[in-house]
């Protein structure tokens, strides 16, 4: 689950995301000489691979936003880190929680009142800016990639 949080951070952040060989299917290692194992052909972690494909698609579908958009921290508190992205009327909120489930309230003054954000990782989850604030539910070890378009 923590690998998913790190991958979500990476796909939403400026710059060229780099995935180390095998991370997308759960390859791991430990101290040398077991620092990296071979690719598990036929035994890939399909759920993890599906997650990587989803977050990569979100980034690719919003290239201008994620490649050129402004980035700003919305919340950094304990186990929660949330940052925003904005570019030419397109906005995103990337939220990560490495701790227990919680509700967080964000200062959303960077976004227009009533702006609706939909989680690209959970089609059933939407929130909107109300009175300059945004309230998010973040489950245990959960990430969200919220987009206004």
> Which tens digits make up the pLDDT trace of 92-119?
999 999 999 999 999 999 899 999 999 9
Task: Tell me what the mean pLDDT of segment 56-85 comes to.
Answer: 96
- Specify the pLDDT at position 149: 67
Reported as type and span, the H/E element at residue 58 is: helix 46-61
Is the full-model pTM beyond 0.75? Answer: yes
Distance CA 149, CA 143 (A): 18
- Specify the pLDDT at position 34: 78
Distance CA 76, CA 85 (A): 15
């Amino acid at each position: 689950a923590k690998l998913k949080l790190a991958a979500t951070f990476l796909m939403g952040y400026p710059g060229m995301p780099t995935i180390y060989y095998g991370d997308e299917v759960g390859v791991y290692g430990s101290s040398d000489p077991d620092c990296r194992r071979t690719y598990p052909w036929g035994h890939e972690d399909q759920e993890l691979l599906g997650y990587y494909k989803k977050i990569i698609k979100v980034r690719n579908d919003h290239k201008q936003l994620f490649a050129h958009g402004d980035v700003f921290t919305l919340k950094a508190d304990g186990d929660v880190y949330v940052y925003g992205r904005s570019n030419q009327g397109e906005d995103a909120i990337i939220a990560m929680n490495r701790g227990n489930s919680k509700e967080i309230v964000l200062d959303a003054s960077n976004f227009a009142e009533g702006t609706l954000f939909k989680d690209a990782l959970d089609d059933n989850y939407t929130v909107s800016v109300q009175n300059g604030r945004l309230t998010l539910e973040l489950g245990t070890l959960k990430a969200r990639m919220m987009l206004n378009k």
